[in-house]
Amino acid sequence: MKLFLIVVLSILTACSSDNDKLDYPKRIEDVVKAELFRPDEKTNGGVVEIKKLSESEIVELLNALRKGKPVGPVKFKPDFFIILSTKTDGTKKLKVNGRTVKGFQNDFGYEIPELDFLNNF
């Protein structure tokens, strides 16, 4: 019985971890480069479009990610990806479909405010 209790508590502790958090750089100073990346479905790995974001667009994007409202676990085929290169944490990748954003490590989605440069991409 004690072993069963230990196993159940271990599972519950693992499930309550911060895996549902969106992983992105919090400070503009940490971002070296930010790009929007749209893969080509027809060539299986090719690139259709890449757009480098300006500093003002990066600030807008980080503010939008900060204001993101959790929508829960979601599955979707991404329209495009946001790739954020940082000084300290390496590269952070986010999947985007409309206004819903999720990280590569989990399926927990966030709805972000509308941004013109994302809509026009």
Residue-wise pLDDT tens digits, 86-97? 888 888 899 999
Does the structure show a pLDDT above 50 at 17?
no
Average pLDDT, the chain: 82
The two structure tokens encoding residue 111: 């709805």
- Predicted TM-score (pTM) of the model is 0.75
Tell me the domain boundaries of the chain: 25-119
CA–CA separation, 32 and 53 (whole Å) = 11
pLDDT in tens, 69-110: 999 999 999 999 999 998 888 888 999 999 999 987 788 999
Do the Cβ atoms of 36 and 82 come closer than 8 Å?
Answer: yes
Interatomic CA distance for residues 67 and 70, integer angstroms = 10
